[in-house]
Amino acid sequence: MRKSKVLAKLRAGRVARICALGSPITMYPTLAAHFHYDGVWVDGEHRTWDPREVQATIANHHAADIDCLWRPSTKEKNGLYRLLEEGASGLMIPHVATAADARAFVQAIKFPPLGDRGLCGGGRDASFWVGAPKDYTTQANRETFLTVQIETPEALANVEAIAAVPGVDVLFLGPGDLSLRLGCSAAVTDPQMLDVQKKIAAACRQHGKAWGRPVGGPDDARTIIELGARLVVLGSEFGALHQHLMQCESQFDALLNEVAGAPVSAAAPAAPAAAKTY
């Protein structure tokens, strides 16, 4: 049974470093591990994944020895614990609004006596039953984690009760959805969002749970860490591609404007005006 690096950090009171992924990029878990991330948050809620891509992506996390925190497209019990059988270290469940919701997900993904997860033992998490530990179910409960997302005013009103549910490990603020419903900015420093973060932090402190959210840079990360956040998402392939292509666009613009304004060399005839495009 692989040990969770995220849980090791959280149990030590340290910050778990997480980056995000929404596409099946083979190299991503290895790169994330190289740059000292503890886990990758993989989005299956808003992105499309073929089942074999799911298997391969989680397997790549195991090969890189980095946690895979999967946000699934389903809340169906069998579909959830199958992701753990494939080897996901944790699941992030969107739109958890009540303590009853949270208890249902604990039941779905934790083995008895804590929950009611179905037993197979033939998955990657049990090393396909080759040398599986005798206390496999106990280790699985200990080394996998449940993250529930606080994304609605109802969830915020119930945040203390949700944090109190045994088997819930992390409360994760969904700033996009919650800000949409509260009518404020998703920014870490928005006054209303600051109040939200303080409320979640207080509930987690009271019940010994971790909390976190995605951030856009080190200043935002510092703000939430000072509020007690321990699961911090900073970095994604989506943001990296946007940033890189935006830089390349600027470089292209500067280069092509320079070329367009340069005198034509006598050694090469000028192209016809109609054919000259940049």
Of residues 186, 142, 149, 169, the one with CA closest to residue 71: 149
The full DSSP string for 14-27 is PPEEEEEE-S--TT
**Cα separation of 254 and 232, whole Å?**
36
Tokens of 254: 């500067």
Of the residues 36, 46, 62, 207, only one is catalytic, namely 46
**Cα separation of 3 and 64, whole Å?**
13
- Is 34 one of the annotated active-site residues of the chain? no
Q: Give the three-state DSSP class for 210.
A: strand
Q: What phi-psi label fits residue 160: left (phi over 0), alpha (psi between -120 and 50 degrees) or beta?
A: alpha
So which residues are the catalytic ones? 46
